[in-house]
């Protein structure tokens, strides 16, 4: 019969060594990731916490990103086959730059004629902002989620205030945890500011968008 005493002591010794090594590593190396803010009431709290505890925050962030795309890419209200066909046909005309009649442009208040105005009946997606923050909390260096979320919120969903808050969170994250900001215009820091300026300009009421057909 195997005695439990030595086995228990061996397990305790291994646990103590693991804790000691974790403390030594944390003292020798700085964690590039800030402490995540995971709400216990969130439906994703368990999977996000597992990703953090197992040191797989980037993997957890990728999973959250895929779930965000599935959320925003799924229709909130089911549509019938005829409406689905009309929407697909409108999108096809939009991509090929097909022009509409003159009265259609006049109805939209366009000075020039021959534009195409696609009519998309999208959803509200009330949780899009929180889902973007979820991805960013797990991986604050995932720069595209700020740009994608801000663009969708500001122009597609007409919620510029949430878009501004999301971009400000991205700017703050770079300033805190990535101080090596270059002068390259493609650096996320400057892209955030570019998006921010465009959204503020749109909010001023002086911005209107029209697609000119070929």
Tokens of 38: 């995971």
Taking the model in full, what pTM does it have?
A: 0.64
Q: How far apart are CA 103 and CA 101, in angstroms?
A: 6
**Pick from 138, 147, 140: which is nearest to 186 by CA?**
147
Q: What is the pLDDT of residues 116-167, one digit of tens each?
A: 454 545 678 999 999 999 999 899 889 999 999 999 999 889 899 999 999 9
Q: Tokens for 28, please give them.
A: 């020798």
Measure the CA dihedral 187/188/193/196, to 10°: 150
Rounded CA-CA distance 66/60 in Å is 10
Report helix, strand or coil for 116. Answer: strand
> Domain 29-76+122-212 is in which class?
mainly alpha
Q: In Å, how far from its chain's centre is CA 190?
A: 17
pLDDT in tens, 35-55: 667 765 578 888 888 887 787
């Amino acid at each position: 019969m195997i005695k439990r005493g030595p086995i228990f002591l061996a397990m305790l010794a291994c646990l103590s060594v693991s804790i000691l090594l974790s403390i030594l590593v944390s003292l020798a190396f700085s964690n590039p990731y800030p402490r995540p803010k995971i709400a216990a009431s969130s439906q994703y709290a368990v999977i996000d916490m597992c990703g953090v505890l197992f040191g797989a925050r980037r993997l957890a962030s990728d999973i959250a990103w895929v779930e965000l795309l599935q959320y925003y890419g799924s229709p909130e209200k089911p549509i019938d086959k005829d409406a689905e066909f009309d929407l697909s046909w409108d999108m096809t005309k939009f991509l090929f730059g097909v022009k509409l009649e003159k009265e259609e442009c006049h109805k939209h208040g366009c000075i020039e004629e021959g534009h195409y105005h696609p009519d998309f009946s999208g959803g509200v997606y009330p949780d899009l902002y929180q889902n973007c923050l979820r991805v960013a909390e797990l991986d604050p260096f995932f720069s595209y989620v700020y740009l994608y979320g801000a663009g969708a919120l500001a122009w597609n969903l007409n919620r510029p205030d949430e878009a501004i808050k999301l971009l400000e969170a991205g700017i703050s994250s770079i300033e805190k945890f990535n101080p090596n900001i270059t002068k390259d215009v493609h650096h996320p820091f400057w892209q955030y500011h570019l998006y921010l300026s465009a959204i503020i300009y749109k909010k001023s009421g002086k911005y209107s968008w029209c697609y000119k057909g070929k």
